[in-house]
Structure 1
Amino acid sequence: MKIAVLVSGGGTNLQALIDYEKSHADCPYHIALVISNTKNAYALERAKNAGIPAEIRSPFSVLGKENAEKATRDEKRIAISDAILDLCRKYQIEAIVLAGYLSVLGGSIINEYSGKIINLHPALLPKFGGVGMWGHNVHEAVLASGEKESGCTVHLVDSGCDTGKILVQKKVPVLPGDTPESLYERIAPEEHKAMIEGVCILASMNKN
């Protein structure tokens, strides 16, 4: 299954997927493309080092500086989503993986790749999902709520925000004295496992 991995930052989950593909002859997926919505994402360097084609699709690159500054959040979101859809068609991508991608896809791409887009979320959905719940915001909310456990979720992407069918969850305890940073450090290795499992499940679901 040819996948595109969408990234915004360091790309540690992308690296986990790269390493798994390289070390498993029977890996059910092939990373054919990496797309970032920021030009400074270190994930782009990881793609380059692995010899994977990489593209940037940001509001500025898609709309131009002047139009991007005038556009609403939804207009930017749809413009980027449509640009990503064009790239996925060009590279004959079969499924899309959101690996720390800090934007929301919308429009035609959701329909065209229905059941073929997964996202990694740094909490145990359906808790701590939705608009504004990303990165350390999630870990801060978990700690503030007094939860005894947290973790991560890989789910199918639909037209909502963090609302699609759950495929994989990994749990970790919340410990006394935890900070958002220490909780993240405990969850991160589980994210890598969940990401690989989620993509393998997606591949099995979409066998021709």
Structure 2
Amino acid sequence: MKTYLVIIPARAGSQRLPGKNLRQLGDKPLVGHSMTYAQEEGFEHIVVSSNDEKVLQYAEQVGGVKVIKRPDALAGNEEPVVTALQHAVNQLKKKFKAVILLQPTNPLRPKGLLKEAIATFEREDCDSLMTVSRNERKLGTISNNCFTPYNYKMGQRSQDLEPLYYENGLLYIFKTELLNQGKLLGEKNYPLIVDHPFAEIDIDTEADFKRAELYLKYFK
């Protein structure tokens, strides 16, 4: 795991759930779950990037990670995460084969998923890898108060739907050179399918947080 860099971006200023990165979920705050997950999976190079002094202080207290102070200019609501990753990599003198992105808003991940993702990334020799999960709902659009099925025909059984997948955000892996191009996903991007309740958790609101508490209790 020495050639992989894990980056956990945890900016301040969440509008819908203020202070969410330090919200206590179970025995640790959201950002702590990603830190612990990377450490338990055996990764040596773990970075927490933040413009929030309290997040940086927490990461330093826990130990085992490097903290990088992110400029406020790279932490706005409209700022893409790729600029924070570029900044973090540029602060380090060591070169890495690939970068792993773990978002604090996805604090719950199946055990062993990261090692499986690394093995798949290397076996497939891909530019990037992202985790996805199947969406088995009947979807449609509404126009002029009329509902039009999108991925099925009226009366079609759910089990006969064409498989569709959503980006669950559990983790991303990408070659370091992609960052120089301002990208996270390359042309050869591998979708790693995750069939686990934790893939449903992505925390942006208070309701999301309450749901995460329930999932942590019943599915861990």
TM (normalized to structure 1)? 0.41
Structure with the larger RCO, 1 or 2 (CA within 8 Å, 6+ apart): 2
Larger radius of gyration: 2
Normalising by structure 2, we get a TM-score of: 0.40
